[in-house]
Amino acid sequence: MSEWRLNRRELMAMGAAAGGGLLVPGLLAADEPVMRRKIPASGEPLPIVGLGTSGVFDVEPTAENLATRREIVELMVEHGASVIDTSPMYGRAEDVVGRVVEDLGVRDRLFFATKVWTRGREEGLAQMEESFRLLRTEKIDLMQVHNLVDTRTQLRSIRELREAGRIRYSGITHYRVSEHDDLADVIEAERPDFVQLNYSIVTRAAEDTLLPLAADRGVAVIVNRAFEDGDLFRAVRGRDVPEWAVEAGIQSWGQFFLKYVLAHPAVTCVIPGTSKPRHMRDNLGAATGALPDAALRRRMVSFIESL
């Protein structure tokens, strides 16, 4: 795939300019891999669509629930996707992820991202050890400070575990625009490998400062809430995807919303959550084909704002 290489001025200009979904069966060919972007800290290529587990993997580990989630992970592996994002905050999600991945035997083909969500050094280390146990893994790819709770203390511990070879990357997260300034401050002071933030076609505040800053500082970006917790699908309920979007390779509302986010060059990966394999397949379809250019992104925003 072609690499996006924009400087801060170009990213800022792009940001200034940007100012239940219908699914089409068979959007993703059986042998079609998803696109990848490089993690700035290492150059490692990361698939641009992953899986969030908040809510959707917090389930009783019954045979039926595990079978459905195995199918989701199998789809990811089949098409080269790898990022599974979870947290101790998400109830049983870490345990369910661990059970499913162990059963499939695909740990080496996945990128585990989880979080530490507590105060104090000893409490943080204990919580991270529990994540290793629940995920049934000896190494966690990305450990993130969840919602900036005791950030500096937890980042120090994460870096110690990274030096010990147990964690590969460090990160910070939040899901609210009101915390973007704090995320920016931590990026400047601590230089984590990743930042996870909220960004969507209707919540574009990250385009103003945070995404350009991440690009400047070499910080990978994981996007949460790209569907606005389902509100975007409710806004377009009963409507067809515009013909001009279909002609551009956007085959569903899910892809409409994801491709908008993925077209920003500072975004490394987006992690929509789902408990339905057909939705996972559709989400993966957003990581194939062309991504919208600046003019198409403006048209997409105008269309959504007109509803």
Residue 184: pLDDT band with limits 50, 70, 90: very high
Q: Exposed, middle or buried: residue 238 (CB in 10 Å: 0-12, 13-18, 19+)?
A: exposed
Domain range for residue 92? 33-306
Q: Is the dihedral of CA 216, 217, 220, 224 positive or negative?
A: negative
**Is the residue at 148 inside a domain?**
yes
pLDDT higher for 218 or 33? 218
Specify the pTM.
0.90
**Which pLDDT belongs to residue 20?**
30
**Is the residue at 12 inside a domain?**
no
**Is the residue at 168 inside a domain?**
yes
Closest CA to 158 of 170, 150, 146: 170
The pLDDT tens digits of the residues spanning 192-249 come to: 999 999 999 999 999 999 999 999 999 999 999 999 999 999 999 999 999 999 999 9
Residue 29: pLDDT band with limits 50, 70, 90: low
**Is the residue at 124 inside a domain?**
yes
**Is the residue at 261 inside a domain?**
yes
Count of domains forming the chain: 1
Q: Quick check: helix, strand or coil at residue 71?
A: helix
Residue that has been written with the tokens 């973007």 in this structure: 180
**Is the residue at 11 inside a domain?**
no
Mean pLDDT of 252-263: 98
Residue that has been written with the tokens 């984590």 in this structure: 192
Mean pLDDT of 279-283: 97
**Is the residue at 245 inside a domain?**
yes
**Is the residue at 25 inside a domain?**
no
CATH number at residue 258: 3.20.20.100
| Residue 263, pLDDT above cutoff 80 | yes
The pLDDT tens digits of the residues spanning 42-92 come to: 999 999 999 999 999 999 999 999 999 999 999 999 999 999 999 999 999
**Which pLDDT belongs to residue 19?**
33
Closest CA to 285 of 48, 12, 20, 5: 48
Are 279 and 254 contacting, i.e. CB atoms less than 8 angstroms apart? yes
